[in-house]
Chains A and B, each alone.
Chain A
């Protein structure tokens, strides 16, 4: 079939063809024309006007009542035309914001980059996924001079851009601390002061900080109001909630963080997470911590990294592949 000509005056031709023959070809032409109108930014009232003019050119004896009716239709199309133009402008703006966000997200990835340390006799698995483009969860590892490792896991209130901005601050505050010479409680106390001075009153950050000493298998940790992790005892095959005291960062400048200690034995496992994991909702249901534990148990025979990924995939599917909150899971296995 010949390509249908979609010049503006062909509207009249197509209309005439359709009136005379009711041919489907004319309707197909109408579809093409309407797409070309959209592309050219022609508004609904102009189309109605074109319609009126075409009819008037074809028939000299158009009834006055009918013409008035069409004028009325034209009038009702004006606001639709405006809404369409507004929608197009907003769509352009949205594309702009999207591309800015993409750049920012890239920058954040670079900023967040952390290398999972290789430690003898300890497997480390990590998954961290942002619900939106920017991540409000933060984790990082450092290796000290003596081979001990530091693990930080933080969750900024909320998600998206504000959370990501706040996270950058934590990152730089951490960089300025001599982490490998300070215990977890001192690190949190220091960070709390920085956060308290610098954030909006409704902003706060939860953080879990731990140090692991491979030589002695000692695991030292403190928490600033962070979602409690789990400790799996290999010998009794029991999960224990890592209960801690300690206020979230950013509420008051005077607060202390108790420090806790465990000795990790062969077959033990530690699960650290953010509340994006436990606050996972599916439909109208909330996930209970027991259910989270069940999923962890199902996959705990796997190596740490693979296990973390499998657990993430499970929750991702549970939420119909649409995360509501940033999700971070760290698994340490001995």
Chain B
């Protein structure tokens, strides 16, 4: 397995591709069924954000192999409009698409580590890590 793999997100089907690739990497790393499902859902959420708001972006997967722990890092980056008020989108109950999406707070819950950087007019980078226990 390559340490870096990525999927470009342009159309809704790409979300499915990103899930599939992410799940495969997670399985190979040794994640159980529940964590695989959580990782796939997290990928869906961030990939859907790219698809809905940025039109063009990619989801990159990195495996982390340290001394005592292994993990999967997911990086979603886009050149979209960016997020003006990050605190607001990280608030529970806040969703711009009006749907039932778990949104970014959901991604934070599904993963172990979460970070977001965004600049209005330039784009957004979401990084999330799940550790293998």
Chain A residues in contact with chain B, CB under 8 A? 45-46, 49, 52, 71, 74-75, 78-79, 82-83, 85-86, 89-90, 93
| Residues on the B chain within 8 Å of A71, using CB | 33
A82-B33 in contact given A45-B38, A89-B92, A90-B93 (Cβ < 8 Å): no
| Residues on the A chain within 8 Å of B37, using CB | 45, 74-75, 78
In angstroms, Cα B38 to Cα A83, docked, is: 13
Kindly provide the distance from the CB of A66 to the nearest chain B CB, expressed in whole angstroms. Answer: 15
Kindly provide the distance from the CB of B58 to the nearest chain A CB, expressed in whole angstroms. Answer: 23
Kindly provide the distance from the CB of B125 to the nearest chain A CB, expressed in whole angstroms. Answer: 22
Structural contact, B38 and A86, CB atoms closer than 8 A: no
- Total B residues in contact with A, Cβ cutoff 8 Å: 15
Which interface residue of B32, B34, B40, B105 has the most chain A CB atoms within 10 A? B34
| Residues on the B chain within 8 Å of A86, using CB | 92-93, 102, 105-106, 109
Residue B110 lies at the interface, judged by CB distance under 8 Å to chain A: yes
Pick from B33, B100, B102, B109: contact of A49, CB under 8 Å = B33
Structural contact, A90 and B33, CB atoms closer than 8 A: no
A78-B41 in contact given A49-B34, A90-B93 (Cβ < 8 Å): yes
In angstroms, Cα B41 to Cα A146, docked, is: 76
Please list 12 pairs of residues, one from A and one from B, whose beta carbons are closer than 8 Å in the complex, sorted by A's number.
A45-B38, A49-B34, A52-B33, A75-B40, A79-B102, A82-B102, A82-B109, A82-B110, A83-B102, A86-B102, A86-B106, A86-B109
With CB as the reference atom, state the residue of chain A lying closest to B34.
A49
Structural contact, A90 and B38, CB atoms closer than 8 A: no
Which residues of B59-80 are within 8 A (CB) of A?
none
| Residues on the B chain within 8 Å of A75, using CB | 37, 40
Which interface residue of A45, A46, A74, A82 has the most chain B CB atoms within 10 A? A82
Structural contact, A78 and B38, CB atoms closer than 8 A: yes
Kindly provide the distance from the CB of B130 to the nearest chain A CB, expressed in whole angstroms. Answer: 13
In angstroms, Cα B33 to Cα A127, docked, is: 62
Structural contact, B100 and A79, CB atoms closer than 8 A: yes
Structural contact, B34 and A45, CB atoms closer than 8 A: yes
